[in-house]
Amino acid sequence: MAFSQLEIDASQIEAMAKIFEEAKAKAPKAISRAISRTGAMTKTQVVRALTAQTGLKRPVIVRAVKAKPGAMSYALHSRGGDVSLKYFGARETRRGVSAAPWNHRQVFAGAFIKGGRFPNRVALGFGGQVMARAGKSRLPIGKRKSGLFIPKEMISGATAAAFLRTVNTVLPARLQHELQAILGGHAPA
């Protein structure tokens, strides 16, 4: 017959109670630091995923996605409209302008960047914007847009998944780390 005994030492519980009481005042600062660090890491992952998802260059995405850290929050936001084809590596061909919105290269027939007859095309002074005629006549002309909206892309697809995955994996670990730091290396139970 085996005999087992479980024993609870009240002095250990009293020591942990003192540690938690001391940490109580410092806990909001630890939570704030964990949220801030997680937010910064999340922004990196969102920028990376949004760059791959949209086909835009990284500096364009970095300018578009803004972080707003708070005491107990961290928000990522973006605003803007229909992105011009200029930002998708647009280049002129005989059939139109080739650009790659959503990382998928396609030809936009009838669009142009330069003026004149091939092969002696000259810049029109529109700063590399992709233009298209509004009707059958020569004028008026207007900018050709891609149909991609950064704010809409930010909350869908791989970008939304990257946001949720990063927050769900990093925040608990960071929170535990920050709490351990204020508890003097004692792991919270």
pTM over 0.85: no
* Residue 54 reports pLDDT greater than 90: yes
**Other C-beta atoms within 10 Å of 183: how many?**
18
CB of 171 closer than 8 Å to CB of 38: yes
**Quick one: which of 105, 102, 117, 100 has its CA closest to 158?**
102
Q: pLDDT-derived band of residue 106, with 50, 70 and 90 as boundaries?
A: very high
**Quick one: which of 92, 74, 77, 88 has its CA closest to 37?**
74
pLDDT value, residue 71 = 83
pLDDT tens sequence across 67-87:
999 888 899 999 888 999 999
* Residue 187 reports pLDDT greater than 60: no
pLDDT value, residue 84 = 94
CB of 27 closer than 8 Å to CB of 179: yes
CB of 162 closer than 8 Å to CB of 45: yes
Strands (E), 24-144: 66-69, 74-77, 82-84, 91-93, 96-99, 106-109, 114-115, 122-123, 131-133, 141-143
Among 8-17, 45-54, 78-87, the range with the most confident prediction by mean pLDDT is 45-54
d(C-alpha 154, C-alpha 184), whole Å: 39
pLDDT value, residue 117 = 84
d(C-alpha 65, C-alpha 59), whole Å: 10
